[in-house]
Structure 1
Protein backbone atom coordinates (compact mmCIF):
# COMPACT_ATOMS: atom_id res chain seq x y z
CA UNK A 1 0.00 0.00 0.00
CA UNK A 2 1.38 3.39 -1.03
CA UNK A 3 2.00 5.62 1.96
CA UNK A 4 0.40 9.07 1.77
CA UNK A 5 3.00 11.82 1.38
CA UNK A 6 2.13 14.93 3.36
CA UNK A 7 3.30 18.48 2.67
CA UNK A 8 5.11 18.35 6.04
CA UNK A 9 7.10 15.31 4.84
CA UNK A 10 8.04 17.14 1.65
CA UNK A 11 9.11 20.28 3.52
CA UNK A 12 11.15 18.20 5.95
CA UNK A 13 12.99 16.49 3.10
CA UNK A 14 13.56 19.81 1.36
CA UNK A 15 15.06 21.28 4.54
CA UNK A 16 17.37 18.29 4.90
CA UNK A 17 18.55 18.19 1.27
CA UNK A 18 17.92 21.57 -0.34
CA UNK A 19 16.27 19.80 -3.30
CA UNK A 20 13.22 21.23 -5.09
CA UNK A 21 9.71 20.50 -3.82
CA UNK A 22 8.81 18.42 -6.88
CA UNK A 23 11.98 16.34 -6.62
CA UNK A 24 11.33 15.80 -2.89
CA UNK A 25 7.76 14.66 -3.55
CA UNK A 26 8.88 12.21 -6.26
CA UNK A 27 11.70 10.86 -4.09
CA UNK A 28 9.34 10.28 -1.15
CA UNK A 29 6.78 8.59 -3.38
CA UNK A 30 9.45 6.30 -4.84
CA UNK A 31 10.68 5.52 -1.32
CA UNK A 32 7.12 4.92 -0.04
CA UNK A 33 7.56 7.73 2.48
CA UNK A 34 10.88 6.55 3.95
CA UNK A 35 12.84 9.77 4.37
CA UNK A 36 16.29 8.16 4.68
CA UNK A 37 15.80 6.28 1.40
CA UNK A 38 14.55 9.49 -0.22
CA UNK A 39 17.60 11.42 1.05
CA UNK A 40 19.94 8.80 -0.38
CA UNK A 41 18.12 8.87 -3.72
CA UNK A 42 18.32 12.66 -3.95
CA UNK A 43 21.98 12.61 -2.91
CA UNK A 44 22.86 10.16 -5.69
CA UNK A 45 20.91 12.22 -8.20
CA UNK A 46 22.67 15.38 -7.05
CA UNK A 47 26.12 13.84 -7.29
CA UNK A 48 25.42 12.65 -10.84
CA UNK A 49 24.22 16.11 -11.86
CA UNK A 50 27.24 17.74 -10.24
CA UNK A 51 29.67 15.51 -12.13
CA UNK A 52 28.26 16.78 -15.44
CA UNK A 53 28.85 20.40 -14.41
CA UNK A 54 32.29 19.97 -12.86
CA UNK A 55 34.18 20.95 -16.05
CA UNK A 56 32.38 24.28 -16.52
CA UNK A 57 34.32 27.48 -15.90
CA UNK A 58 33.82 28.97 -12.44
CA UNK A 59 35.40 32.42 -12.18
CA UNK A 60 32.92 34.30 -9.97
CA UNK A 61 32.33 33.66 -6.27
CA UNK A 62 33.70 35.25 -3.15
CA UNK A 63 36.52 35.41 -0.64
CA UNK A 64 35.34 34.33 2.80
CA UNK A 65 37.13 34.79 6.11
CA UNK A 66 36.77 33.15 9.50
CA UNK A 67 38.33 34.18 12.79
CA UNK A 68 37.94 31.66 15.58
CA UNK A 69 36.86 32.83 19.05
CA UNK A 70 39.87 34.25 20.83
CA UNK A 71 41.40 35.46 17.55
CA UNK A 72 44.13 32.80 17.62
CA UNK A 73 43.26 31.11 14.35
CA UNK A 74 41.99 32.55 11.06
CA UNK A 75 41.18 31.31 7.57
CA UNK A 76 40.92 32.98 4.17
CA UNK A 77 39.13 31.08 1.41
CA UNK A 78 38.46 31.69 -2.26
CA UNK A 79 35.46 29.71 -3.49
CA UNK A 80 34.24 30.07 -7.07
CA UNK A 81 30.96 29.65 -8.94
CA UNK A 82 29.87 30.58 -12.46
CA UNK A 83 27.86 33.77 -11.90
CA UNK A 84 27.65 36.69 -9.50
CA UNK A 85 23.96 35.83 -9.03
CA UNK A 86 24.80 32.50 -7.38
CA UNK A 87 27.63 34.10 -5.38
CA UNK A 88 24.99 36.30 -3.72
CA UNK A 89 22.71 33.39 -2.79
CA UNK A 90 22.44 32.60 0.96
CA UNK A 91 23.13 28.88 0.32
CA UNK A 92 26.41 29.66 -1.44
CA UNK A 93 27.47 32.13 1.25
CA UNK A 94 26.65 29.64 4.00
CA UNK A 95 28.68 27.01 2.16
CA UNK A 96 31.66 29.38 2.11
CA UNK A 97 31.31 29.97 5.86
CA UNK A 98 31.07 26.24 6.57
CA UNK A 99 34.18 25.52 4.52
CA UNK A 100 36.25 28.16 6.33
CA UNK A 101 35.23 26.66 9.68
CA UNK A 102 36.08 23.21 8.33
CA UNK A 103 39.58 24.40 7.42
CA UNK A 104 40.04 25.94 10.86
CA UNK A 105 39.04 22.64 12.48
CA UNK A 106 41.23 20.41 10.26
CA UNK A 107 44.80 21.28 11.19
CA UNK A 108 46.31 18.46 9.10
CA UNK A 109 44.75 19.77 5.87
CA UNK A 110 47.05 21.75 3.57
CA UNK A 111 45.68 21.14 0.05
CA UNK A 112 42.28 21.46 -1.61
CA UNK A 113 42.41 17.95 -3.09
CA UNK A 114 44.82 15.05 -3.51
CA UNK A 115 45.43 16.25 -7.09
CA UNK A 116 47.01 19.42 -5.66
CA UNK A 117 49.59 17.59 -3.56
CA UNK A 118 53.09 18.05 -5.09
CA UNK A 119 54.89 14.94 -6.30
CA UNK A 120 57.83 15.57 -3.98
CA UNK A 121 55.46 15.37 -0.99
CA UNK A 122 54.04 12.07 -2.28
CA UNK A 123 57.56 10.71 -2.88
CA UNK A 124 58.59 11.69 0.64
CA UNK A 125 55.58 9.94 2.19
CA UNK A 126 56.26 6.79 0.13
CA UNK A 127 59.91 6.75 1.16
CA UNK A 128 58.96 7.25 4.80
CA UNK A 129 56.50 4.36 4.79
CA UNK A 130 58.86 1.95 3.01
CA UNK A 131 61.53 2.59 5.64
CA UNK A 132 59.33 1.70 8.62
CA UNK A 133 60.57 -1.17 10.76
CA UNK A 134 57.37 -3.25 10.55
CA UNK A 135 57.86 -3.66 6.78
CA UNK A 136 61.53 -4.69 6.85
CA UNK A 137 61.05 -8.46 6.62
CA UNK A 138 58.10 -8.51 4.27
CA UNK A 139 58.30 -9.46 0.56
CA UNK A 140 58.57 -6.44 -1.76
CA UNK A 141 55.10 -7.00 -3.22
CA UNK A 142 53.47 -7.02 0.22
CA UNK A 143 55.63 -4.16 1.44
CA UNK A 144 54.70 -1.96 -1.52
CA UNK A 145 51.01 -2.78 -1.16
CA UNK A 146 50.96 -1.89 2.55
CA UNK A 147 52.99 1.27 1.97
CA UNK A 148 50.65 2.36 -0.84
CA UNK A 149 47.61 1.95 1.42
CA UNK A 150 49.23 3.99 4.15
CA UNK A 151 50.31 6.71 1.74
CA UNK A 152 46.78 6.95 0.29
CA UNK A 153 45.43 7.37 3.82
CA UNK A 154 48.02 10.06 4.55
CA UNK A 155 47.20 11.96 1.35
CA UNK A 156 43.52 11.97 2.28
CA UNK A 157 44.46 13.49 5.64
CA UNK A 158 46.17 16.35 3.77
CA UNK A 159 43.23 16.91 1.39
CA UNK A 160 40.29 19.16 2.27
CA UNK A 161 37.91 17.46 -0.18
CA UNK A 162 38.43 14.08 1.51
CA UNK A 163 37.49 15.29 5.01
CA UNK A 164 34.20 14.40 6.65
CA UNK A 165 32.06 17.51 6.93
CA UNK A 166 32.17 18.67 10.56
CA UNK A 167 28.41 19.36 10.66
CA UNK A 168 27.40 16.08 9.00
CA UNK A 169 29.99 13.36 9.46
CA UNK A 170 28.55 10.95 6.87
CA UNK A 171 29.20 13.49 4.09
CA UNK A 172 32.63 14.45 2.76
CA UNK A 173 33.49 18.02 1.79
CA UNK A 174 33.57 16.86 -1.84
CA UNK A 175 30.02 15.50 -1.54
CA UNK A 176 28.94 18.71 0.18
CA UNK A 177 30.25 20.75 -2.76
CA UNK A 178 28.45 18.48 -5.23
CA UNK A 179 25.20 18.81 -3.31
CA UNK A 180 25.43 22.58 -3.67
CA UNK A 181 26.27 22.29 -7.37
CA UNK A 182 23.02 20.36 -7.80
CA UNK A 183 21.10 22.78 -5.57
CA UNK A 184 22.35 25.99 -7.20
CA UNK A 185 22.73 24.71 -10.77
CA UNK A 186 26.31 25.90 -11.27
CA UNK A 187 29.79 24.49 -10.98
CA UNK A 188 31.46 25.31 -7.65
CA UNK A 189 35.18 25.10 -6.99
CA UNK A 190 37.30 25.67 -3.92
CA UNK A 191 40.24 27.44 -5.49
CA UNK A 192 42.57 28.12 -2.58
CA UNK A 193 42.78 28.78 1.13
CA UNK A 194 45.21 29.96 3.77
CA UNK A 195 45.17 29.16 7.47
CA UNK A 196 46.81 31.45 10.03
CA UNK A 197 47.77 30.32 13.54
CA UNK A 198 48.82 32.96 16.04
CA UNK A 199 52.54 32.61 16.77
CA UNK A 200 53.05 29.91 14.15
CA UNK A 201 56.75 29.57 13.40
CA UNK A 202 57.71 31.46 16.55
CA UNK A 203 56.97 28.86 19.18
CA UNK A 204 55.36 25.45 19.33
CA UNK A 205 52.14 25.28 21.28
CA UNK A 206 49.96 22.25 21.97
CA UNK A 207 46.56 23.90 22.02
CA UNK A 208 43.92 21.56 20.61
CA UNK A 209 42.31 23.90 18.08
CA UNK A 210 40.62 20.99 16.29
CA UNK A 211 38.67 19.97 19.39
CA UNK A 212 37.92 23.57 20.34
CA UNK A 213 36.54 24.58 16.92
CA UNK A 214 34.63 21.33 16.41
CA UNK A 215 32.99 21.59 19.85
CA UNK A 216 31.93 25.17 19.19
CA UNK A 217 30.42 24.32 15.78
CA UNK A 218 28.56 21.23 17.00
CA UNK A 219 27.04 23.15 19.88
CA UNK A 220 25.36 25.61 17.49
Structure 2
Protein backbone atom coordinates (compact mmCIF):
# COMPACT_ATOMS: atom_id res chain seq x y z
CA UNK A 1 0.00 0.00 0.00
CA UNK A 2 1.06 3.62 -0.52
CA UNK A 3 2.51 5.32 2.55
CA UNK A 4 1.54 8.98 2.95
CA UNK A 5 3.83 11.79 4.01
CA UNK A 6 1.52 12.42 6.97
CA UNK A 7 2.05 8.86 8.21
CA UNK A 8 5.82 9.20 7.95
CA UNK A 9 5.70 12.56 9.75
CA UNK A 10 3.63 11.10 12.60
CA UNK A 11 5.96 8.14 13.01
CA UNK A 12 9.00 10.40 13.02
CA UNK A 13 7.42 12.57 15.73
CA UNK A 14 6.54 9.55 17.84
CA UNK A 15 9.93 7.81 17.52
CA UNK A 16 12.45 10.55 16.74
CA UNK A 17 13.99 8.35 14.03
CA UNK A 18 14.89 9.22 10.46
CA UNK A 19 12.44 9.68 7.61
CA UNK A 20 13.71 6.75 5.53
CA UNK A 21 13.68 4.40 8.51
CA UNK A 22 10.11 5.40 9.33
CA UNK A 23 8.92 5.03 5.75
CA UNK A 24 10.55 1.59 5.46
CA UNK A 25 8.95 0.44 8.71
CA UNK A 26 5.51 1.63 7.61
CA UNK A 27 5.92 -0.11 4.26
CA UNK A 28 6.98 -3.34 5.94
CA UNK A 29 3.96 -3.26 8.28
CA UNK A 30 1.44 -2.19 5.61
CA UNK A 31 0.93 1.20 7.21
CA UNK A 32 0.14 -0.12 10.72
CA UNK A 33 1.45 2.64 12.97
CA UNK A 34 1.72 0.63 16.19
CA UNK A 35 3.32 -2.33 14.41
CA UNK A 36 5.78 0.08 12.76
CA UNK A 37 6.69 1.53 16.16
CA UNK A 38 7.31 -1.95 17.56
CA UNK A 39 9.43 -2.81 14.51
CA UNK A 40 11.52 0.32 14.89
CA UNK A 41 12.00 -0.33 18.59
CA UNK A 42 13.34 -3.79 17.78
CA UNK A 43 15.61 -2.46 15.05
CA UNK A 44 16.76 0.45 17.21
CA UNK A 45 18.09 -2.01 19.75
CA UNK A 46 20.18 -3.67 17.05
CA UNK A 47 21.23 -0.26 15.80
CA UNK A 48 22.48 0.71 19.23
CA UNK A 49 24.56 -2.47 19.40
CA UNK A 50 26.12 -1.78 15.99
CA UNK A 51 27.19 1.71 17.07
CA UNK A 52 28.72 0.56 20.35
CA UNK A 53 32.20 -0.16 18.94
CA UNK A 54 32.68 3.34 17.57
CA UNK A 55 34.92 5.75 19.45
CA UNK A 56 32.90 8.53 21.07
CA UNK A 57 35.38 11.29 21.90
CA UNK A 58 33.24 14.39 21.39
CA UNK A 59 30.45 15.33 23.78
CA UNK A 60 29.37 17.64 26.55
CA UNK A 61 29.74 18.17 30.27
CA UNK A 62 26.45 18.33 32.16
CA UNK A 63 26.54 20.34 35.40
CA UNK A 64 24.04 20.78 38.21
CA UNK A 65 24.08 22.33 41.69
CA UNK A 66 21.28 21.85 44.22
CA UNK A 67 19.04 24.69 45.37
CA UNK A 68 21.07 25.16 48.57
CA UNK A 69 24.27 25.60 46.59
CA UNK A 70 25.88 22.83 48.61
CA UNK A 71 26.05 19.78 46.33
CA UNK A 72 27.15 19.79 42.71
CA UNK A 73 27.81 17.21 40.00
CA UNK A 74 29.50 17.00 36.61
CA UNK A 75 28.75 14.29 34.06
CA UNK A 76 30.65 13.64 30.83
CA UNK A 77 28.51 12.25 28.01
CA UNK A 78 30.31 11.43 24.76
CA UNK A 79 29.23 11.31 21.14
CA UNK A 80 31.07 10.55 17.93
CA UNK A 81 30.68 14.03 16.44
CA UNK A 82 30.62 17.59 17.70
CA UNK A 83 27.50 18.14 15.60
CA UNK A 84 25.51 15.76 17.82
CA UNK A 85 27.18 17.09 20.97
CA UNK A 86 25.65 20.51 20.25
CA UNK A 87 22.16 19.06 19.86
CA UNK A 88 19.69 20.32 22.48
CA UNK A 89 18.45 16.78 23.22
CA UNK A 90 22.02 15.64 23.82
CA UNK A 91 22.94 18.50 26.17
CA UNK A 92 19.61 18.14 27.99
CA UNK A 93 20.41 14.46 28.58
CA UNK A 94 23.78 15.41 30.12
CA UNK A 95 22.14 18.04 32.33
CA UNK A 96 19.47 15.61 33.49
CA UNK A 97 22.11 13.05 34.46
CA UNK A 98 23.99 15.66 36.49
CA UNK A 99 20.77 16.44 38.38
CA UNK A 100 20.21 12.73 39.04
CA UNK A 101 23.74 12.41 40.43
CA UNK A 102 23.17 15.37 42.76
CA UNK A 103 19.79 14.12 43.98
CA UNK A 104 20.49 10.38 44.30
CA UNK A 105 24.28 9.99 44.66
CA UNK A 106 24.72 6.77 42.61
CA UNK A 107 27.65 4.58 43.59
CA UNK A 108 28.98 4.18 40.04
CA UNK A 109 28.10 4.33 36.35
CA UNK A 110 26.24 1.02 36.53
CA UNK A 111 24.00 2.38 39.28
CA UNK A 112 23.43 5.59 37.32
CA UNK A 113 22.50 3.63 34.18
CA UNK A 114 19.91 1.61 36.12
CA UNK A 115 18.35 4.71 37.66
CA UNK A 116 14.84 5.86 36.66
CA UNK A 117 14.95 8.56 33.99
CA UNK A 118 12.41 11.43 34.10
CA UNK A 119 9.59 10.70 31.69
CA UNK A 120 9.87 6.93 31.92
CA UNK A 121 12.33 4.08 31.58
CA UNK A 122 15.91 4.01 32.82
CA UNK A 123 18.96 6.12 32.06
CA UNK A 124 20.29 3.25 29.93
CA UNK A 125 17.07 3.15 27.93
CA UNK A 126 17.09 6.92 27.46
CA UNK A 127 20.66 6.72 26.15
CA UNK A 128 19.72 3.90 23.78
CA UNK A 129 16.81 5.94 22.45
CA UNK A 130 19.13 8.86 21.71
CA UNK A 131 21.61 6.56 19.97
CA UNK A 132 18.77 5.39 17.73
CA UNK A 133 17.67 8.96 17.03
CA UNK A 134 21.11 10.40 16.31
CA UNK A 135 22.49 7.34 14.49
CA UNK A 136 25.82 7.34 16.31
CA UNK A 137 27.33 5.94 19.48
CA UNK A 138 26.85 7.73 22.80
CA UNK A 139 28.47 6.85 26.11
CA UNK A 140 28.05 8.10 29.66
CA UNK A 141 31.73 8.09 30.49
CA UNK A 142 32.10 9.39 34.06
CA UNK A 143 30.68 11.63 36.75
CA UNK A 144 31.85 13.41 39.89
CA UNK A 145 29.89 14.74 42.84
CA UNK A 146 31.08 17.32 45.37
CA UNK A 147 29.51 18.26 48.69
CA UNK A 148 30.60 21.63 50.09
CA UNK A 149 29.87 20.33 53.63
CA UNK A 150 28.77 23.73 54.89
CA UNK A 151 31.38 25.65 52.92
CA UNK A 152 31.07 27.43 49.58
CA UNK A 153 30.61 25.60 46.29
CA UNK A 154 31.64 27.13 42.97
CA UNK A 155 31.01 25.74 39.51
CA UNK A 156 31.74 26.73 35.94
CA UNK A 157 31.22 25.20 32.51
CA UNK A 158 33.26 26.53 29.61
CA UNK A 159 31.89 26.07 26.12
CA UNK A 160 30.13 22.83 27.01
CA UNK A 161 33.49 20.99 26.97
CA UNK A 162 35.08 21.83 30.35
CA UNK A 163 33.35 21.62 33.71
CA UNK A 164 34.68 22.53 37.15
CA UNK A 165 33.46 22.16 40.74
CA UNK A 166 35.40 23.65 43.65
CA UNK A 167 34.66 23.82 47.37
CA UNK A 168 35.98 26.43 49.78
CA UNK A 169 35.98 26.91 53.52
CA UNK A 170 35.15 30.58 53.93
CA UNK A 171 35.17 33.17 51.17
CA UNK A 172 32.09 33.73 49.06
CA UNK A 173 30.27 32.69 45.92
CA UNK A 174 32.10 35.22 43.71
CA UNK A 175 35.53 33.92 44.75
CA UNK A 176 34.41 30.30 44.34
CA UNK A 177 33.24 31.00 40.78
CA UNK A 178 36.44 32.90 39.98
CA UNK A 179 38.47 29.91 41.17
CA UNK A 180 36.32 27.52 39.14
CA UNK A 181 37.06 29.64 36.05
CA UNK A 182 40.75 29.70 36.99
CA UNK A 183 40.83 25.89 37.28
CA UNK A 184 39.13 25.55 33.89
CA UNK A 185 41.86 27.69 32.30
CA UNK A 186 44.98 26.63 34.24
CA UNK A 187 44.39 22.88 34.81
CA UNK A 188 45.98 22.40 38.24
CA UNK A 189 46.39 18.76 39.25
CA UNK A 190 46.34 19.23 43.04
CA UNK A 191 45.05 21.79 45.55
CA UNK A 192 48.31 22.56 47.37
CA UNK A 193 51.99 21.43 47.22
CA UNK A 194 51.65 19.09 50.22
CA UNK A 195 48.96 17.17 48.31
CA UNK A 196 51.41 16.10 45.59
CA UNK A 197 52.45 12.45 46.16
CA UNK A 198 56.06 11.97 47.26
CA UNK A 199 56.86 9.64 44.37
CA UNK A 200 55.72 12.28 41.85
CA UNK A 201 58.02 14.87 43.45
CA UNK A 202 60.91 12.38 43.65
CA UNK A 203 60.58 11.45 39.97
CA UNK A 204 60.59 15.10 38.92
CA UNK A 205 63.56 15.87 41.18
CA UNK A 206 65.54 12.98 39.68
CA UNK A 207 65.05 14.48 36.22
CA UNK A 208 66.31 17.88 37.36
CA UNK A 209 69.34 16.31 39.08
CA UNK A 210 70.25 14.43 35.90
CA UNK A 211 69.93 17.65 33.89
CA UNK A 212 72.13 19.60 36.32
CA UNK A 213 74.89 17.03 36.80
CA UNK A 214 76.52 17.93 33.50
CA UNK A 215 76.72 21.61 34.39
CA UNK A 216 80.05 21.30 36.22
CA UNK A 217 78.70 23.30 39.15
CA UNK A 218 79.46 22.35 42.81
CA UNK A 219 76.99 19.93 44.49
CA UNK A 220 75.61 22.61 46.82
CA UNK A 221 74.80 24.88 43.83
CA UNK A 222 73.23 21.95 41.98
CA UNK A 223 71.05 21.23 45.01
CA UNK A 224 69.82 24.84 45.09
CA UNK A 225 69.12 24.76 41.35
CA UNK A 226 67.21 21.51 41.67
CA UNK A 227 65.15 22.65 44.65
CA UNK A 228 64.27 25.88 42.84
CA UNK A 229 62.99 23.87 39.87
CA UNK A 230 61.03 21.57 42.17
CA UNK A 231 59.35 24.56 43.84
CA UNK A 232 58.45 26.01 40.44
CA UNK A 233 57.09 22.62 39.33
CA UNK A 234 54.91 22.40 42.45
CA UNK A 235 53.62 25.93 41.88
CA UNK A 236 52.75 25.07 38.29
CA UNK A 237 50.69 21.97 39.11
CA UNK A 238 48.92 23.14 42.29
CA UNK A 239 45.96 25.49 42.57
CA UNK A 240 47.37 27.56 45.42
CA UNK A 241 50.78 27.94 43.76
CA UNK A 242 49.53 29.20 40.40
CA UNK A 243 49.35 32.82 39.34
CA UNK A 244 45.71 33.90 39.60
CA UNK A 245 44.17 34.15 36.12
CA UNK A 246 42.24 37.36 36.90
CA UNK A 247 45.32 39.00 38.44
CA UNK A 248 48.59 37.34 37.30
CA UNK A 249 50.60 39.60 39.62
CA UNK A 250 49.35 37.58 42.59
CA UNK A 251 48.80 33.90 43.38
CA UNK A 252 45.68 31.92 44.15
CA UNK A 253 47.08 31.38 47.66
CA UNK A 254 47.28 35.15 48.16
CA UNK A 255 43.71 35.61 46.94
CA UNK A 256 42.47 32.95 49.33
CA UNK A 257 44.36 34.49 52.25
CA UNK A 258 42.95 37.92 51.42
CA UNK A 259 39.42 36.50 51.52
CA UNK A 260 40.04 34.47 54.68
CA UNK A 261 39.26 31.31 52.72
CA UNK A 262 40.76 27.89 52.13
CA UNK A 263 40.47 25.71 49.03
CA UNK A 264 39.26 22.26 50.03
CA UNK A 265 38.77 20.24 46.87
CA UNK A 266 38.06 20.53 43.17
CA UNK A 267 37.12 18.45 40.13
CA UNK A 268 37.84 19.36 36.52
CA UNK A 269 36.40 17.33 33.64
CA UNK A 270 37.24 17.98 30.00
CA UNK A 271 35.44 16.23 27.17
CA UNK A 272 37.46 13.47 25.55
CA UNK A 273 40.59 13.76 27.70
CA UNK A 274 42.40 10.42 27.74
CA UNK A 275 40.28 8.90 24.96
CA UNK A 276 42.29 7.49 22.07
CA UNK A 277 40.63 8.75 18.92
CA UNK A 278 40.44 6.63 15.82
CA UNK A 279 42.73 7.66 12.98
CA UNK A 280 40.75 7.38 9.78
CA UNK A 281 42.33 7.01 6.35
CA UNK A 282 39.59 7.98 3.90
CA UNK A 283 41.36 6.57 0.82
CA UNK A 284 41.90 3.21 2.54
CA UNK A 285 38.26 3.08 3.60
CA UNK A 286 37.09 3.70 0.03
CA UNK A 287 39.44 1.06 -1.39
CA UNK A 288 38.35 -1.53 1.17
CA UNK A 289 34.72 -0.90 0.26
CA UNK A 290 35.47 -1.19 -3.46
CA UNK A 291 37.31 -4.49 -2.96
CA UNK A 292 34.48 -5.80 -0.81
CA UNK A 293 31.77 -4.94 -3.32
> TM-score w.r.t. structure 2 length?
0.44
Q: Is the 8 A contact 1:47 1:175 kept in 2?
A: no
Q: Cα distance, 1:190 vs. partner?
A: 0.7
- Is 1:164–2:161 an aligned residue pair? no
Q: Is the 8 A contact 1:102 1:166 kept in 2?
A: no
Q: Is the 8 A contact 1:5 1:28 kept in 2?
A: yes
1:25-44 alignment, distance < 5 Å: 25-44=23-42
Q: Cα distance, 1:78 vs. partner?
A: 0.7
Give the aligned partner of residue 126 of structure 2.
176
- Is 1:109–2:106 an aligned residue pair? yes
Give the aligned partner of residue 208 of structure 1.
none
Pick aligned residue for 1:9 from 2, 7, 12: 7
Supply the RMSD in Å over aligned alpha carbons: 2.8
What are the ranges of 5 or more consecutive residues in structure 1 without an aligned counterpart? 114-158, 201-220
Q: Is the 8 A contact 1:60 1:80 kept in 2?
A: yes
Q: Cα distance, 1:68 vs. partner?
A: 4.0
Q: Which structure: larger Rg?
A: 2
Change (3 A) 1:67 1:41: farther
CA displacement 1:159-214 (0-9 Å, x = unmatched): 1112232212xx332222222223223221111112345648xxxxxxxxxxxxxx
Q: Is the 8 A contact 1:75 1:103 kept in 2?
A: yes
Change (3 A) 1:72 1:12: farther
Q: Is the 8 A contact 2:52 2:137 kept in 1?
A: yes
Give the aligned partner of residue 140 of structure 2.
190
Q: Secondary structure at the match of 1:58?
A: coil
CA displacement 1:131-179 (0-9 Å, x = unmatched): xxxxxxxxxxxxxxxxxxxxxxxxxxxx1112232212xx332222222
Change (3 A) 1:68 1:41: farther
More strand by share: 2
Give the aligned partner of residue 87 of structure 2.
89
Give the aligned partner of residue 48 of structure 2.
50
Q: Cα distance, 1:32 vs. partner?
A: 4.2
Change (3 A) 1:195 1:5: farther
* Larger RCO: 1 or 2 (CA < 8 Å, sep 6+): 1
Q: Cα distance, 1:48 vs. partner?
A: 0.7
Q: Secondary structure at the match of 2:143?
A: strand
Provide runs of 4+ in structure 1 moved above 6 Å.
Answer: none
Change (3 A) 1:160 1:27: same
Change (3 A) 1:195 1:186: same
* Distance (Å, rounded) in 1 between the aligned partners of 2:148 and 2:30: 53
Change (3 A) 1:43 1:69: farther
Q: Cα distance, 1:5 vs. partner?
A: 4.7
How many residue pairs are counted as aligned between the two chains? Answer: 151
